[in-house]
Amino acid sequence: MSATEKTLILFVSLQVQSSWQSVPLGAASVAAALGADPRLAGRLSFTLADYSLEDADLSGLDAVRAGSLLARKILALAPNPRIVAFSVYVWNRPAFEECARELRRLGSRATLVAGGPEPTAAPETFGAFDHVLVGEGERGFADLALALLDGSPLPAAVAAKRRLPVTDCASLASPWLSGTLDSCRAVSEHRGALWELARGCPYSCAYCYESLGEKKVRPLPLKRLEAELDRFARLGVERVFVLDPTYNANRERALTLLSTIEKRAKDMHFSFEVRAELLDRELVSAFSRIPCSLQIGLQSSNPEALTLVNRPSDIKGFSKKIGLLNDAGIVFGLDLMYGLPGDSLSTFRASLDYALSLYPNNLEIFRLAVLPGTALFERRAELALDSEAKPPYAVRSTPKFPAPDLDRAETLAAATDVFYTQGRAVTWFLALLRPLKLKPSQFLADFAEWLESPDRAARPGAARALAASRAPHAEIERLQIAFAEKKLAEKGKGYLGKAVRDIIALNGAWTRAFAEGEESSLELSYHPEDLFSTDAMDLEYFAENACMEHCAARVFPTPDGPDLELT
């Protein structure tokens, strides 16, 4: 190597999908730290190789074929990298392990390094790589790179696969301010950003990787965060996902940052993860003054299950806090898990009913993953949890949740995703169920069964397949209307069909104008003003008292939001 030639390091990321959230933040943070380390000044160059399982040449490939192709793509990008560093998560571990093996088969002499949540949880299982970084990688990777360049002994923590010491957050280089992420696809194509605010989590949920780290929350400096907001504006970022396990764990800091956002970034939409129990009227008011949505981990309403995973919750208090969000008109979603120890199919259905009673805009439902290294993984024998040994580590059975019931829960989760979340049903869903006298879980189980019914020429697994397909909203709307009319007829309430059809169609057109900028033409049996009124939330009262009149309407997007005109 000549005196002026720099050593090339390739940072490889593999996202589940290409979206505004798919920022290779971990790799970029390590790369930014290398660029700021005076010990390595002028000696290194690096490239971020950011791939997605939705890329045309990777889509549909199994892990072995995807990994093999990635190895060839890496060598085509950089035939002789000195170090290839992989950001390893649950979803990409099998592909990256195969990629590492294929690089060796192809004769690459690069040093292969794995870092991220997966290696941190179980470093001893990463035999396909030369080195594993356990914990935060910025300082550790710089020490490793320096040792490899100089031929000096490896850092002790790296050699022993021990957790690396944490770095003072005030000294961390920003991957945004350094320009490392300027050209990543999430920014250039999707106008999105991940914004890290703090490290560490004050909670000890037994199923979560965060429980492996520090219990002390280490905030990033406010001046850096303010500068990053300004950077987002210059880059044209429109949506920001806030990386902080519990944004409102520190109430005063949360309020300060919300005020900063209100002043400096009011045109961006922010997504936060919060604890409902820590909300109050002042925080809710601050959230209401910026474009944002909140995601809240409920996980279960079953006290036994919550206690067993070290996440106790006051359900009555939870409901009151969610009420503050609904009163303020804030968009929020809830997370649920099925397969938790102590849970069963019936208690999961009760959790689903409870969650939907709170009017979330979306409901994210996951099968429990027994992640290596977590407290739950260490107690799996005691709790009799049978789970997959390889990613995604999904639970296969528990004493109260046998495998057939877990499969039923998975189908119910898929039906909920299609009908409620992808179907954007929050405004009218519970109103539809009242005259049917059905609980949400029963209605959605019936919907899953209907999707798979022989008279629809469907096959088993139709609900799961439809959920995975991310069908256009208009297609889901047609299913919603058809199934709602079927259930109303079964209950002798067919006379409500026209009102239900109009309400679903009008609300659907409104959301498509807002979310996709799509224009819709509608033929309605009731006036739109009546359909949007509070009276329409009581379908039987509405059908009895509202006047039917044929209306042709056009719903269309405007810069200020959706609008409607009669045609």
CA-CA distance, 241 to 271, in Å (whole number)?
5
Q: From edge to edge, which strands make up the β-sheet containing 548-556? A: 520-526, 548-556, 563-566
The rounded distance, in Å, linking the Cα atoms of 383 and 379 is 6
**β strands within 324-477, DSSP E:** 331-338, 362-367, 386-387, 395-397
Residue 122 and residue 112 in contact, taking contact as beta carbons nearer than 8 Å: no
Q: Which two tokens stand for residue 533?
A: 């009124």
Closest CA to 17 of 67, 52, 58: 52
Tokens for 173, please give them. 């280089």
Q: Would you state the structure tokens that stand for residue 375, as one six-digit string? A: 């407290």
- Walk along the chain (567 residues) and give the pLDDT tens digit of each residue: 444 578 999 999 999 999 999 999 999 999 999 999 999 999 999 999 999 999 999 999 999 999 999 999 999 999 999 999 999 999 999 999 999 999 999 999 999 999 999 999 999 999 999 999 999 999 999 999 999 999 999 999 999 999 999 889 999 999 999 999 998 999 999 999 999 999 988 888 999 987 665 668 899 999 999 999 999 999 999 999 999 988 999 999 999 999 999 999 989 999 999 999 999 999 999 999 999 999 999 999 999 999 999 998 899 999 999 999 999 999 999 999 999 999 999 999 999 999 999 999 999 999 999 999 899 999 999 999 999 999 999 999 999 999 999 999 999 999 999 999 999 999 999 999 999 999 999 999 999 999 998 877 677 789 999 999 999 999 999 999 999 999 999 999 999 999 999 999 999 999 999 999 999 999 999 999 999 999 999 999 999 999 999 999 999 999 999 999 998
Q: Looking at the whole model, is its pTM more than 0.75? A: yes
Distance CA 488, CA 504 (A): 14
Backbone torsions φ then ψ of 363, nearest 5 degrees:
-130, 115
Q: Which pLDDT belongs to residue 2?
A: 44
219's CB contacts (< 8 A; 6+ apart) are 169, 197, 198, 250, 253
Say how far apart CA 487 and CA 477 lie, in whole Å: 15
CA end-to-end span of the chain? 73
Task: Give pLDDT tens digits for 489-546.
Answer: 999 999 999 999 999 999 999 999 999 999 999 999 999 999 999 999 999 999 999 9
pLDDT value of residue 214: 63
Which residues does 316 contact at the CB level (< 8 Å), separation at least 6? none
Q: Which two tokens stand for residue 396?
A: 């296969």
pLDDT of residue 1: 44
Cis? peptide before 38, omega within 30° of 0: no
Contact 39, 189 (CB under 8 A): no
Task: Please give the structure tokens belonging to residue 296.
Answer: 């809240």
Q: Yes or no: say if 46 and 180 are a contact pair by the CB < 8 Å rule.
A: no
CA nearest neighbour of 108 among 10, 219, 216, 252: 10
Q: How far is residue 132's CA from residue 85's CA, in Å, rounded to a whole number?
A: 10
172-194 burial, b for 16+ CB within 10 Å, e for fewer? bbbbbebebbeebbbbeebbbbb
For residues 448 and 460, give the distance between their C-alpha atoms in angstroms, rounded to a whole number: 10
- Tell me the domains of the chain and their CATH numbers: 7-169 (3.40.50.2300), 191-401 (3.80.30.20), 406-567 (no CATH)
Q: Which helix (H) or strand (E) holds 132?
A: strand 131-132
* Inter-CA distances, 236 with 48, 189, 289, Å: 21, 11, 21
Closest CA to 368 of 355, 353, 386: 386
Q: Strand, helix or coil at 287?
A: helix
* Cα-to-chain-centroid distance, residue 414: 16
